[in-house]
A and B are shown apart, each in its own frame.
Chain A
Amino acid sequence: MKYAAHINIMPHKALLDPQGKAVTGSMPNIGLPSVSNVRIGKHITLELEAANETEAKQMVETACTKLLANLIMESYEYTLVAL
């Protein structure tokens, strides 16, 4: 079976996100002064071959915990879609 994973990786809430802070600061410049707390992470998509959904999830977990996210500074969540 072929699956697609849509993965969101975000910096931990307790950590300062300088990118998000800079973007928050520019919101008044486009007429949106009430926008606050912009935080910026990563959205990663990938496709994989697996025997079933359980195996597919294990592969995505491995990818996230070993390479795609650094759990000291980030958290991840994902959705899996059969193609």
Chain B
Amino acid sequence: MKIGVLIFPGSNCDKDAVWAFQNMFGQEVVELWHKDTDLQNVDLVFLPGGFSYGDYLRSGAIARFSPIMQSVIEFANNGGLVWGVCNGFQILCESGLLPGALLHNDHQKFNCKNVFIKTETNNSKITSLNEVGKALKIPIAHGEGRFYCNDELLQELKANDQILFRYCDENGNVSDETNPNGALDNIAGICNKNRNVFGMMPHPERAVDADIYNTDGRTMFESLLQLVNS
């Protein structure tokens, strides 16, 4: 599988993503600069975390209009696989490839810690091998991760099985106490209606290497690679 990792001015998780795909899973990776327009025939575009364009105006708002994103939007609209984590999720919401928006955390703090998320559905290319309901320990690092959408859209997300992950405790119980940012319905990750664009605030690419004592993020990469390679 050939992966394209986007790099914007202010991206800071791009190397983690490259490391994960290349060194942990042996995939071919190309780095795509924000001023590029050629996606180099990649099979998946990965939008990493960070603070693209300094988070000026709103997180992801300026990145959405960079030259590379015009190609990514076209790629996604033609069914191409796109996965955004953290700032990548924010950019995908700003670009309209994913519904909803990410607001400032409800407590005004930047959260950098391990949290638990549970998989809500196997019906996606990044969760097919995950056990539904099982808590996974995945790091978060964000100040603007409070997923929000209106009631109508929330019902649509539920009806279409688009909610991929929700914040929970280590036993998979979802409550206000396990919600690190005030996200609507504890939502940590979603996909689009066509199920080819995925966004999540937690960082699975930081949880794939046994050397750092957390490999709970591996199944998402394995799900993706198994499906695409098969």
Chain A positions near chain B (C-beta within 8 angstroms): 15-16, 18-19, 21-22, 67-68, 70, 72-73
Contact = CB atoms under 8 A, between A and B. Distances in A.
Scoring A16, A22, A68 by chain B CB atoms within 10 A of each residue's CB, the highest score goes to A16
A19 B149 CA distance: 20
B182 A16 contact: yes
Given A18-B107, A67-B65, 13 more contacts: A16-B182, A18-B105, A18-B108, A19-B104, A19-B108, A67-B57, A67-B61, A68-B57, A70-B61, A72-B149, A72-B150, A73-B101, A73-B148
Interface residues of B, number: 18
Scoring B57, B103, B107, B108 by chain A CB atoms within 10 A of each residue's CB, the highest score goes to B103
Nearest to A42: B57
Contacts of B103: 15-16, 73
B94 interface: yes
B105 A70 contact: no
Interface string B120-147: 0000000000000000000000000000
Contacts of A70: 58, 61, 94, 101
Interface string B68-112: 000000000000000000000000001000001101111110000
A70 B101 CA distance: 8
Given A72-B101, A72-B149, A73-B101, A18 B94 contact: no
Contacts of B108: 18-19, 21-22
A5 to B, nearest CB: 16
Interface in B138-172: 148-150
